[in-house]
Amino acid sequence: MSNGTTTGRRPVGVRIAGTGSALPKRTLTNADLEKMMATSDEWIVQRTGIRERRILNRDQGESTSQLAAESLKAALAQARLAPADLDLIIVATMTAEMSCPGSASLVANMIGAGNCGAFDLNAACSGFVYGLNVAHDLIKGGAYRNIGLIGADALSTLMQYNDAGRSTSIIFGDAAAATVINATDDTSKGILAQAMHSDGKGWKEIYVPRCSQDFPPGVEPDPSKFDHVQMNGASVFKFAVSTFPELIQQTLDKAKIAATDVDMYVCHQSNQRILHAARDRFGLAEDKLYVNIDRFGNTVAASVPLCLDELRRSGRIRDGYKVMFVAFGGGLTWGSSLWQL
Ligand code: COA
């Protein structure tokens, strides 16, 4: 089949054939942040578990789309596929360089993917997990065979690295990570259960105002906040701590399996305390819920696929495993995707 077209053939299974990731060169440590704002390594580690994060430099040619393209190239190499084999590229992101074109079109051009479909998906930190469900079901439905799904974000472009931005800039980092998802004759492979939810009433808990009209009722519009993430950290924390375990339980129930039947939980890296609370709630062994937030911070849509890529490359996720992907974020949005790999 040529790229961008559909076959009408019903595939029988769906698999994750390759993963890859790309990180900016520059590392920003907590010690670096101490020099930029009133904060401390101790405060950041205690509240979030983060020790360092990567920050891109556009002057050096780094961007959301450039990192996304690099990560997809690595995933294609692992899947032993060429860019022209892709039928569709989806980039989950809230920080495309421009509102038009979408990042996916830039990626398709950078890797030489020809005329395949290309679109961005914005569900903030839930974007990649939403994308897994979308890509899986498009393949399962028989219309597409090979999809490149990327989570890529550069929240550093929406931060203030000074006292005014200290409650958000310590949390976020930049990254991209990709998967190549494709059809397989092995019917045992694919999603066992999935969920996508949102609560639009909670939009004002995390938002990026562009103009005075974007501020929620009761909040004084402030031009110094334009293009900077505004987050009610305590509210988001409360939402996440209750939603995470509920979502995991709901997904397990749908699949009719127990928490211990899952080989690995790949969760959005928002805060180490939220991850540990979920792990304790289900009585999971430490190595069953992966944590890399200490090295990368919260990389938004890239967070889940970055964990997946590390886990696959280190052999901690293998063919035949049951893996649960879970994320929550701005919107508010939350979603899960439980796979039989
Ligand atoms: N360094 C030092 N002090 C800081 C600080 C920093 N970087 N940022 C904020 N503070 C201060 C606050 O100003 C506040 O001071 P005050 O008590 O004098 O007013 C104090 O620390 C406590 O702030 P608070 O916001 O209540 O801290 P917290 O314990 O809730 O931790 C977060 C803050 C952001 C780490 C935490 O709320 C969190 O992780 N929330 C979830 C965020 C998230 O996951 N977002 C992504 C969603 S995908």
Which residues of the chain does CATH 3.40.47.10 include? 13-184, 190-340
For residue 9, what pLDDT is reported? 60
Asked if 174 and 305 count as a contact pair (C-beta separation under 8 A), the reply is: no
C-beta 243 within 6 A of ligand 1: no
For residue 10, what pLDDT is reported? 59
Give the three-state DSSP class for 77: helix
C-beta 164 within 6 A of ligand 1: no
Asked if 116 and 323 count as a contact pair (C-beta separation under 8 A), the reply is: no
C-beta 194 within 6 A of ligand 1: no
In CATH terms, the fold of domain 190-340 is Peroxisomal Thiolase; Chain A, domain 1 (3.40.47)
For residue 2, what pLDDT is reported? 45
In CATH terms, the fold of domain 13-184 is Peroxisomal Thiolase; Chain A, domain 1 (3.40.47)
C-beta 123 within 6 A of ligand 1: no
- Which residue is closest in CA terms to ligand 1's atom 44? 270
Report the amino acid identity of residue 269: Q
Query: Looking at ligand 1, which atom is closest to the CA of residue 268?
Result: 48
| Ligand 1 mean position, distance from CA 154 (Å) | 21
- Tell me how far CA of residue 280 lies from CA of 75, 284, 321, 336, in angstroms: 33, 6, 22, 19
- Which residue is closest in CA terms to ligand 1's atom 36? 233
72: left (phi over 0), alpha (psi -120 to 50) or beta: alpha
**CB-side exposure of 66: number of CA atoms within 13 Å?**
14
pLDDT in tens, 248-268: 999 999 999 999 999 999 999
Residue 208 has pLDDT above 80, yes or no: yes
pLDDT in tens, 158-193: 999 999 999 999 999 999 999 999 999 998 999 999
C-beta 329 within 6 A of ligand 1: yes
| Ligand 1 mean position, distance from CA 145 (Å) | 44
pTM for this one? 0.95
- Tell me how far CA of residue 335 lies from CA of 152, 294, 327, in angstroms: 17, 23, 6
For residue 124, what pLDDT is reported? 98
C-beta 237 within 6 A of ligand 1: yes
| Ligand 1 mean position, distance from CA 233 (Å) | 6
pLDDT in tens, 211-247: 999 999 999 999 999 999 999 999 999 999 999 899 9
Catalytic sites, residue numbers: 125, 268, 298
